[in-house]
Every structure is written in structure tokens, then in C-alpha cells.
Amino acid sequence: KKYSVCILENRIFFLFTVTPVGFIGLGNMGTPMAKNLLRNGYPVIATDVFPESCKELQDTGAQVVDSPADVAEKADRIITMLPSSPNVIEVYTGPNGILKKVKKGTLLIDSSTIDPAVSREMAVAAEKMGAVFMDAPVSGGVGAASMAKLTFMVGGVEEEYNAAQELLTCMGANVVYCGQVGTGQAAKICNNMLLAIGMIGTAETMNLGIRLGLDPKLLAKILNMSSGRCWSSDTYNPVPGVMEGVPSANNYQGGFGTTLMAKDLGLAQNTATNTKTPIPLGSLAHQIYRVMCSRGYANKDFSSVFQFLREEEGQ
């Protein structure tokens, strides 16, 4: 942050000139993220396609404008947090999109989880307008967003990383530089694919062990001290009764929904297909979450795959 120094009655004052930050996409994640920018003293200029979504942030002190183009007119650092690739394309390159009025030198940070190929397209389009685009998807849910505990995985030109980091550290606990544009998305997608595989694997394994006569808590303990250990077994165990404070202890409410996991696995599948990379377990994990979505598990936490695979009572 740039500042001027001023001496007044023998006391030194640092006067910061903070330029406003634009924020587009005020959903469950975007709103608490933008609030954390406000909390850190950044003026925020925001917009969302749903006017009602803007109300909460406006009450907290943000200035609300009509369109992404209007944001771009007033801010030279803009963060976007949108549901999927088509929304990102619209917000950046649509008729009222950012790029219609973006100023030269503007820093554009997209925290949506989308196809890395779209991130690269946006970067090219931004560069044509003299702006810089970075992808910075997050890991961590609504709770982490509220407590500024998100992890950001950042892709883009390295020279701009410091500028991005300044803003992202207001909203997250970890900011990791991953490489060129799109690698932030790549890291996010890779992590979530391995997460899904580990979760389904843990659910299958726990279910098999229980049916073979093992106590679930004991089995979890054995796995966690052995080579079967993974995040899903030791931190987010899908079997009710094994751990407290996780969705499986609360009928799979809250957490990371099956629909969202299916969406991320769809992205993993797309990038793998496009790069001709074989991902047999990743593909099957995708299909399992897809079937779960159509069998009533869409809104449950993704650890409910344990319940899905378990033999029904009375069969």
C-alpha cells in the first residue's frame, strides 16, 4: 500500500491512499469475501446480476453499481467470484462486461472455479485491452470465506503476483503461486479430484471393514496410522460416529455439496479429455457423484457417498 507521511503536533501520521477494489459476484462465497476487503480498509465497488444480493454488502459500506462495465470504470483492481465458465465469459466479455470499459493496467483476479482453458482465453482477451488477468480459485467453504481462512491457488504472470497477494491475504490464510495463467484452476481441480477419489475410497473401505466385523472407530484408527491414511479418513471421516464436528456427524448437512463436487469432477474430466490424460478412478468418481445427484444426494455433503454405498436396512 502506498502512503504519504505527515508530521502533526510531533506525531507521525502515515496517510494511505487506498484505491477502491471492484468485486463482482456476491453469492454465498463472494459476499463474505468482499466484506473482508471492507474490513481491511479497502473501499469496495460491487455488482451482481441479482440486485437483492447487493443489499447486504451495500449495508456494510460498499458502493453498488449496475454492471461489470461500471465496476471496471471505477476500479483498477477487480475480483470476480462466479458459479461457472459461462458466467465468467459473460462478466468479462459480454455486452456490459468488464472488458468493455476496463482501464489499462487493471488487475483482474478471478476466484471462480472454471475450466483453465477459459481462464487462458480471458487472459488473452484482457491482455488485448492492456489489463492483466489472473486465476485464483479458492479451497475452503462459506465458513472459511467468513473467517478469511480460504486458500487461494494463483495462476498468472509472476510480476503481478505481489499485487494480487496483497488483496488475497485479506480474504485467505494461504496464497500459493502456481505458475502461468490457468495453473491456479489446475491445482484446484487436481486437489478436488484426488479428494473425491479419497472420499469414495474411504467410504468403500469403511463399509467393507464394518461388514467384515471391524469396529468403525478402530478401523479408522488403524488406517490413519497406516498407508491407507488420507484426509477423508483422518479429518473428514464419512462414517457417522467416528468423528465429531464433521458432516457425517450431522446427517451430512453443510460441508461441500455433492453437486459442487460433481461440477469440479466435470471440470477435471474436461481438462483430462482435452489433454488426452487417462484418469480412470477420477472418471469413475465423477460418474458416482453424478449418479448420486440424480438419486437424491444433490444437496448433501459429498461424504454421504458412504450412505449411498451402504446396504439399505432390511435388504
Catalytic (active-site) positions: 188
Task: Tell me whether residue 128 is exposed, middle or buried, using C-beta atoms within 10 angstroms of its C-beta: 0 to 12, 13 to 18, 19 or more.
Answer: exposed
Contact with its own copies (CB under 8 A): which of 100, 101, 149, 310?
310
**H or E element: which one contains 151?**
strand 150-155
Cβ atoms of 304 and 297 closer than 8 Å: yes
What is the spatial distance between Cα 103 and Cα 90, in angstroms, rounded to a whole number? 18
236 counts as binding its own copies under rule CB under 8 A:
yes
Restricted to residues 87-126, the positions that interact with its own copies (CB under 8 A) are: 116
Q: Which is nearer to its own copies, 45 or 164 (CB)?
A: 164
**Of 3-11, 60-68, 121-129, 230-238, which segment contacts its own copies by CB under 8 A?**
230-238
Binding residues with its own copies: total (CB under 8 A): 86
Cβ atoms of 74 and 66 closer than 8 Å: no
What is the spatial distance between Cα 267 and Cα 249, in angstroms, rounded to a whole number? 29
275 counts as binding its own copies under rule CB under 8 A:
yes
Q: What is the 3-state secondary structure (H, E, C) of 3-53?
A: EEEEEECCEEEEEECCCCEEEECCCCCHHHHHHHHHHCCCCEEEECCCHHH
**Of 25-33, 59-67, 125-133, 287-295, which segment contacts its own copies by CB under 8 A?**
287-295
Q: How far is the CB of 93 from its own copies (least distance, A)?
A: 15
Instruction: List the one residue out of 136, 155, 153 whose CA is nearest residue 79.
Output: 136
What's the CA angle centered on 57, arms 156 and 152, to 5 degrees?
A: 25
245 counts as binding its own copies under rule CB under 8 A:
no
Parallel/antiparallel/unpaired status of strands 11-16 and 3-8: antiparallel
Restricted to residues 170-229, the positions that interact with its own copies (CB under 8 A) are: 174, 176, 178-180, 182-183, 186-187, 189-195, 197-198, 200-202, 204-209, 211-215, 218-219, 222-223, 225-229
Q: Provide the mask over 129-158, with x wherever binding to its own copies is found by CB under 8 A and - wherever it is not.
A: ----------x-----------x-x-----
Q: Provide the mask over 55-94, with x wherever binding to its own copies is found by CB under 8 A and - wherever it is not.
A: ----------------------------------------
Q: How far is the CB of 276 from its own copies (least distance, A)?
A: 6
If you search the block for the grid coordinates 467410504, which residue do you land on?
A: 203
**Of 57-65, 91-99, 142-150, 262-270, which segment contacts its own copies by CB under 8 A?**
262-270
